[in-house]
Amino acid sequence: MNLKFPAILLVVFTFCLCTSFLKARAQERQYIQLRIYHAKDSVQLKQVSQYLEEAYLPALHKAGYKMVGVFTNITNDTAIDKKIYVLIPFKSLKNIEKLSLHLENDVELNNRGKDYLQAPHNNAPYIRFETILLKSFQLMPRVVKTQLTGDIKDRIYELRSYESPTEMYFKSKVKMFNQGGEIALFKRLGFNAVFYSEVVFGSHMPNLMYMTSFDNMAAREAHWKSFGNDPEWKKLSALPEYQDNVSHINIEFLHATAYSDL
């Protein structure tokens, strides 16, 4: 009997250790790579989109990345600067480097994407592209697929960037989202968030970025009206510690492509 007791303790200890480890792993914050292609016309848009659909995303899926979002700006038809957004979540910074090396040696990717990858200097498929590195927030550590069921053609993805005047004010805004309860408020009001994150590398720092989704623009307007009138938001936004923590807001309205995972 005495011999069995230590063994039981060992089993219990191992179970608790494994449970704690799995729980910690589940809460690990992801890094998110957001690439934005800038195109001058519909020809370039088509070139980039074709490459993404026929070569790049299949290569990512084969490499184990199954939650890749691809979005287009809803103003692309009339805008001078036409944009395509590619969002990829990673477990760690090391995985970003590993994927880059893997794709360089992917023969199928290089064959399928030949027209894009080997485009001549005087017929480039884009003007420029920029890459922003994000790190997900503590209270929403993983990118999630929207739960919306409406027609994808009408669906609106809203990408927001909140710039802060200084690092101190930036920390205040991040805290407002997490411990302050702003994420919980968005969830209660049904904003269908895809991610919340802080910008690690980018051109508008210090800033945070997040994406919410709606069945259509009318639903988006209704949700934000409810948010602005919510007593919890009025109380939160009036707290002294959260004053003046946003100096500029940039909003982009996006559509998901038919081949987007998100």
**CB-based contact 111:57 (threshold 8 Å):** no
**CB-based contact 206:167 (threshold 8 Å):** yes
**Continuous segment of H or E residues that includes residue 214:** strand 207-214
Can you spell out the DSSP letters for 49-92?
A: HHHIIIIIHHHHHHTT----EEEEETTTTT-SSEEEEEEEEESS
Q: With a cut of 50, list the residues of the chain below it in pLDDT.
A: 1, 3, 5, 9-15, 17-26
pTM, two decimals, is: 0.88
Q: Please tell me whether residue 94 adopts helix, strand or coil conformation.
A: helix
Q: Under CATH, which number does the domain 31-256 receive?
A: 3.30.70.100
**Omega of the bond prior to 58 within 30 degrees of 0, cis?**
no
Domain parsing of the chain, residue ranges: 31-256
